[in-house]
Amino acid sequence: MLDTSAYSAYLRGSEEVKQAIREADEIYLNPVVLGELYAGFAHGSREKKNRERLRDFLSSPRVQVAVIDEESAERYTAIIAYLWSKGTPIPT
């Protein structure tokens, strides 16, 4: 799952992120990430160029937009509960 910060790092040329993307069989973004990216593009001076780059990225057969539904919420709950039980919560 690629988040907004990782996509931005990819565009800035982060070798670590570029390598992770190259090695991934599948890459997912969720609708919230897309919304954050579109909002950032609209706020900047290169909206058209940034949208085109994202459209190109999304056109890869390895890239998919993930669905956020009740099942996603249940999986998130299970992961968070497990991490809390181990004393290693992630920021929410």
> CB within 8 A of 63, min separation 6: which ones?
26, 27, 28, 29, 57
Question: Domain limits of the chain?
Answer: 4-67
State mean pLDDT over 9-22. Answer: 96
Q: Which residues are registered as beta bridge partners of 27? A: 63
Classified as helix, coil or strand, 27 is: strand
Say what the pLDDT of residue 60 is: 97
Reported as type and span, the H/E element at residue 64 is strand 63-65
Q: Is the pLDDT of residue 1 over 80?
A: yes
Say what the pLDDT of residue 89 is: 76
pLDDT tens string 39-90: 999 999 999 999 999 999 999 999 999 988 999 899 989 988 999 999 987 7
Distance CA(57)–CA(80), nearest Å, equals 30
Distance CA(85)–CA(71), nearest Å, equals 21
